[in-house]
Chain A
Amino acid sequence: MRFIDEYRDPQLAAALVDTILRRTRRSWTIMEVCGGQTHCILEHGLDALLEERVTLLHGPGCPVCVTPLETLDRALALVERGAVLCSFGDMLRVPGSRGDLLGARARGGEVRVVYSPFDAVRLAAERPARPVVFLAVGFETTAPAVAAATRWAHARRLENFFLLASHVRVPPALEAIAAAPESRVEAFLSAGHVCTVMGTGEYEPIARRHHLPIVATGFEPVDLLEGIAMAVAQLESGAARVEIQYRRAVRPGGNPAARALVEEVFEVVDRPWRGIGVVPRGGLALRDRYAAFDALRAFPGLASDVAREPAECRAGDVLRGALRPPACPEFGRTCTPEHPLGAPMVSSEGACAAYYHHRAAGGPT
């Protein structure tokens, strides 16, 4: 496929590995904050190719994984209360404190996997007698689709379409990680598609304040290696700038029309991230003008549920880059993709799942 296959060229990748290894005079620690990148790194063994020169830490790059348990519990409660729950497929097997959405469907609840929030709006228009709730989880990448779908439902005067909105914003989480006293991160690869929408302006103060290079990077092996090479070149020269590797898709100002849509429908709020805690300005909530679409208002009583994380799951440490998944005592033993203790093992972008699927040592023994 054009714009993808060229960035899987083994010769370009090998040359970049060579460049990185030759240019590093000491070992550097770089964190990527995107589950798609984490999976690419492990699938192609990029971490092993750069071993001893570059340590790659995997940050909280999986929106499914950072979604608080309460959100999932609320989704389950909505199904029990007769709503048609529409979700991206990633969320279906994530364990809540009382089971998962797949189980709710098996018990007769109506849980639909949709490709886009627009499909949920179409469903609501076709079935005006049933409340249809879209479980809106995701980074800034997903927010324009949800904003456009919500505005569409508003324009069509649909009264049975709702959002269970748990959108999060990446830059405040990078700030929280960089500011933590125990942080080992020396540079960030920021998630390419988040920057496609939002641009790179929000990263400038983080790069300055913490003297960290930040490189907006794509998702294919050549993209990641070039992003790492750019970060290493900055680290070796003592620079700390925001740069764009993923130039075919990222402009410094992002996509202004997409940003305007998000701005119209959502406002910035403080939001708990699983594993990190409450991140100031770390989430998006519906503006008052669109409050009629908020499932928490339409179904009173959902908000009071409080969920406790399972004690044996160390997803929080994994999400902060403090624990490598294979070092978790439960990894591959009591916690597998078939029987996950936490979201990072079951989400298609989770770091635990990446190690489990791509590393022989992580597989069943």
Chain B
Amino acid sequence: MCLAVPGRVCELYQEAGLRVAAVEFGGVRRRVCIETLPGVAAGSWVLVHAGVALQELDARAAEESLRLLAEAARSGGGS
């Protein structure tokens, strides 16, 4: 039930007073509430659960952790 899916914000708008965004998930667009992310902008990657954006994804943290894991794998060390 806690499944959340990453998607990219395409455009921001309002629906009857609710702040929403069109978010694209692998080619499919869905309407997502963004009351939870006041600073979000078009182009951001967000994590969506039950129609609401839970958090903006941190691309830099993702790249860094993958780089460290890959280095550890190459050196046979591990994290």
Contact = CB atoms under 8 A, between A and B. Distances in A.
Contact of B73 (A12, A137, A233, A348): A12
Given A63-B1, A115-B51, A116-B51, 20 more contacts: A1-B5, A1-B26, A15-B78, A16-B69, A19-B79, A88-B1, A116-B33, A116-B50, A116-B52, A119-B51, A141-B49, A141-B54, A145-B50, A148-B35, A149-B51, A193-B4, A193-B49, A247-B62, A248-B65, A251-B58
Interface residues of A, number: 67
A177 to B, nearest CB: 18
16 contacts: A3-B57, A3-B62, A11-B73, A15-B73, A15-B78, A19-B77, A35-B1, A35-B2, A138-B1, A138-B50, A141-B49, A141-B54, A146-B50, A193-B49, A248-B58, A349-B1
A117 B79 contact: no
Given A3-B62, A6-B62, A193-B47, A255 B55 contact: yes
B52 A138 contact: no
Contacts, number: 166
Interface string A249-283: 11100010110010000000000000000000000
Q: Is the interface of A mostly helix, strand, loop or mixed?
A: helix
B54 A144 contact: yes
| Most A Cβ at <10 Å: residue of B51, B69, B72 | B69
A202 to B, nearest CB: 16
Interface of B: 1-6, 16-18, 25-26, 31, 33, 35-38, 45, 47, 49-52, 54-55, 57-59, 61-62, 64-66, 69-70, 72-73, 76-79
A143 to B, nearest CB: 10
Given A36-B3, A193-B4, A247 B69 contact: no
B69 A12 contact: yes
Top 6 closest A-B pairs, CB basis? A19-B78, A116-B51, A15-B73, A248-B62, A145-B52, A145-B50
A248 B61 contact: yes
A171 B57 CA distance: 24
Interface stretch (A45-53, A104-112, A222-230, A306-314): A222-230
Contacts of B62: 3, 6, 247-248
A249 B57 contact: yes
Nearest to B62: A248
Interface of A: 1-4, 6, 11-12, 14-16, 18-20, 22-23, 34-36, 62-64, 88, 90, 115-119, 125, 137-139, 141-142, 144-146, 148-149, 151-152, 155-156, 191-194, 196-197, 219, 222, 226, 229-230, 233, 247-251, 255, 257-258, 261, 347-349
